[in-house]
Amino acid sequence: MTNCIFCKIRDGEIPSKFVYEDDYCFAINDINPKAKKHILVIPKAHVESLNHVEDSLLIANLFEAIKKINKQENITHFKTHINTGASAGQEVMHLHIHILAN
Ligand code: 5GP
Ligand code: ZN
């Protein structure tokens, strides 16, 4: 998807350090962290939001990744957060799960 920040990060057009990557998703530190650790878990496929998910296996894959990321980052207590739709606070229209840990 052209003009999507997360697609550009996925493709290396906007340089960003991946804290995790697998076949389905990648994870980056949020540029504007709202917790001591604030990680975004992003599917590689451009899916606009949770409302646009066609195969729920994608969600399972993202949460399996979250378990691995948390183990890697020594995160045991955390919140997950998904904003869906602009009026609910979604700014980037490419599905992502926030991991927030203090
Ligand atoms: P949303 O409000 O859409 O759920 O969350 C989007 C998140 O992406 C925000 O927390 C924002 O700080 C983060 N973000 C936006 N642009 C960039 C970027 O270019 N790099 C990184 N690492 N995070 C970004
Ligand atoms: Zn995208």
Give the mean pLDDT of the chain. Answer: 98
pLDDT band for 11, please (50, 70, 90 cuts).
very high
Task: Report how far residue 14's alpha carbon sits from residue 7's, in angstroms, rounded to the nearest whole number.
Answer: 9
Is any atom of ligand 1 closer than 6 Å to the C-beta of 61?
no
* pLDDT value of position 1: 77
* pLDDT value of position 7: 98
Q: How many domains does the chain have?
A: 1
Length of the chain: 102
Is any atom of ligand 1 closer than 6 Å to the C-beta of 30?
yes
Q: Which residue bears the tokens 């207590």?
A: 77
Of ligand 1's listed atoms, the one at least distance from the Cα of 5 is 19
Q: CATH number of the domain that 62 lies in?
A: 3.30.428.10
Task: Report how far residue 89's alpha carbon sits from residue 97's, in angstroms, rounded to the nearest whole number.
Answer: 13
Please indicate whether residue 98 is annotated as part of the active site: no
Task: Report how far residue 5's alpha carbon sits from residue 3's, in angstroms, rounded to the nearest whole number.
Answer: 6
Provide the domain limits for residue 33.
5-101
Backbone angles phi, psi at 26, to 5 degrees: -140, 165
For residue 85, report the distance from its CA to the centre of ligand 2, in Å: 15
Nearest-5° Cα angle at 47, 81 to 82: 5
